[in-house]
Amino acid sequence: MRDLKQKELRVHTDAGRLLRPLLIVEGQRLVIGKHHLKTLKSMWRQESAAASLCWNYLLQQGVVELLSTEEEEGAMIALNQDDLEKSRTDPKYGGSGIIYTHLEIDASYLLGLGATMIPFLEHNQASRNLYQADKHCKQAIGFYTTNFWGRSDSSAHHLFYPQKPIVTTCVADNFLKKPELNNGQVAIVSIQCLAYNQEDSIVMNQASIDRGLFRSVNHVNLSL
């Protein structure tokens, strides 16, 4: 009796699943073309809600696809167009059977917004980047919003004198575009051996504390 291969079809419809936007690749080439880009430019200039319309246009044209975590297991994703070029021209890559199905929209999307805000991220340890990205998103105490009077938050924590960082990233400057929403202060740090050193101990300058260094306030709305 011949063995029949059983194929399992899984359909996830939960609203909370993570979806990753990727460019579709067919024949080791991008599906998106110059005519798509030309249409996007015209839509962006004419429509008021151009961002959502342009995104829906890309989905309808089949050039962008949203993959869940389950679908990513069966996808071959190229980091940039150089990978696609090598797979087409370089016999070393073409002969190894690498067939890409998708392409990253941008390499910075692999890290997320929190991690791409870290300057010189490639010079840090991976564990430090994960720690900073987690604290940056959840425990930053700068100005997280500008419409304080129109909000009803049960609690909030604000830094009194947030400062613009000396070094920023391309994502912060070109995509976030919120220079007024700073979340820290520029501190002068000296690493040296003192009598009070113990593991990660910190000796603060009293004059800096008196002038308001790291001073913050915690608002609690008791009416809610």
Q: Which two tokens stand for residue 18?
A: 């993570």
Distance of CA 134 to the CA centre of its chain: 12
Please give the pLDDT value at position 97.
Answer: 61
Q: Which residues pair with 159 in a beta bridge?
A: 216
The Cβ of residue 166 has, within 10 Å, a number of other Cβ atoms equal to 7
Is 3 noted as a catalytic residue in this protein? no
Terminal-to-terminal C-alpha distance of the chain: 70
Query: What are the sequence ranges of the domains in the chain?
Result: 19-105, 114-220
User: Do strands 102-103 and 19-26 pair parallel, antiparallel, or not at all (unpaired)?
Assistant: antiparallel
User: Do strands 102-103 and 77-78 pair parallel, antiparallel, or not at all (unpaired)?
Assistant: parallel
Q: Which helix (H) or strand (E) holds 66?
A: strand 64-68
Q: What is the 3-state secondary structure (H, E, C) of 135-191?
A: HHHHCCCCCCCCCHHHCCCCEEEEECCCCCCCCCCHHHHHHHCCCCCCCCCCCCCCC
Residue 183 in contact with residue 118, Cβ under 8 Å? Answer: no
Please give the pLDDT value at position 2.
Answer: 45
Please give the pLDDT value at position 9.
Answer: 76
Query: For residues 30 and 101, what is the distance between their CA atoms, to the nearest angstrom?
Result: 9
In eight-state DSSP terms, residue 37 is H
Please give the pLDDT value at position 185.
Answer: 86
Query: For residues 41 and 35, what is the distance between their CA atoms, to the nearest angstrom?
Result: 10
This prediction's pTM: 0.64
Please give the pLDDT value at position 172.
Answer: 80
Q: Which helix (H) or strand (E) holds 134?
A: helix 126-138
Please give the pLDDT value at position 31.
Answer: 93
Please give the pLDDT value at position 91.
Answer: 63
Residuewise pLDDT in 10s, the chain (224 residues): 445 566 777 777 777 777 889 999 998 889 999 999 999 888 888 766 678 888 899 999 999 999 988 888 889 999 988 888 888 876 665 555 678 999 999 887 787 777 888 888 889 888 888 887 776 655 666 777 777 778 777 777 788 888 888 888 888 887 777 777 777 888 888 888 777 767 777 888 999 999 988 888 887 764 54
Query: Residue 42: what are its φ and ψ, rounded to 5°?
Result: -70, -40
The Cβ of residue 100 has, within 10 Å, a number of other Cβ atoms equal to 20
Catalytic, out of 3, 14, 82, 200? 200
Residue 194 in contact with residue 203, Cβ under 8 Å? Answer: yes
Q: Provide, for the chain, the percentages of residues in helix, strand and coil under a 3-state DSSP scheme, each rounded to the nearest 5.
A: 35, 15, 50
